């Protein structure tokens, strides 16, 4: 007799699946369990992004404009260490780290400078960040 195997959620896993499971959901339709595009990426390529950000918001903005002029379709913002852990650039613990491995963002004004003359309606943005993500998302939403 074969042992019954279950997931942590209590779903029984069959020893062998011979037929695909019929799904009511379709790609491109709510709840998007099969993807956000009806034809997936056969009609539209995925977004090509460049992970970038360094020094000041002004310098990073210049870099973003350059990347967009070269065909990048989306931006992935790299934040400096103080921004990632929630320190302002003028905090003593930030000394020597501001703008080193990404862009320093301390305020909504910095976010406005970072995305100056970039159409947020046409360019998708990714922000790889953890602890302070909700703050930077709030800045981004206020900017939009």
Instruction: Please state the domain count of the chain.
Output: 1
Domain annotation covers residue 31: no
- Cβ 91 vs Cβ 110: under 8 Å: no
User: Is pLDDT above 80 for 75?
Assistant: yes
Residue 12, classed as helix, strand or coil, is strand
**Cα separation of 144 and 127, whole Å?**
15
Residue 124: which domain range?
41-143
Domain annotation covers residue 33: no
CA 21 to chain centre: 32
Of 130 and 92, the structure prediction assigns the larger pLDDT to 92
User: Is pLDDT above 90 for 24?
Assistant: no
Domain annotation covers residue 30: no
Domain annotation covers residue 3: no
Residue 36, classed as helix, strand or coil, is coil
């Amino acid at each position: 007799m074969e042992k019954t195997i279950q997931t942590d959620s209590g779903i029984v896993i069959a020893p062998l699946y011979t037929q695909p499971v019929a799904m009511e959901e379709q790609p491109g339709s709510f709840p998007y369990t099969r993807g956000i595009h009806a034809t997936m990426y056969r009609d539209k390529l995925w977004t090509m992004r460049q992970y970038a950000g360094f020094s000041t918001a002004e310098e990073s903005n210049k870099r973003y404009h350059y990347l967009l002029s070269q065909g990048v379709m989306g931006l992935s913002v790299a934040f400096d260490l103080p921004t990632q852990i929630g320190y302002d650039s003028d905090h003593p613990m930030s000394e020597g780290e501001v703008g080193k491995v990404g862009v320093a963002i301390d305020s909504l004004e910095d976010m406005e400078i970072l995305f100056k003359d970039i159409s947020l309606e046409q360019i998708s943005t990714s922000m790889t960040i953890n602890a302070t993500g909700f703050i930077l998302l709030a800045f981004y939403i206020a900017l939009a």
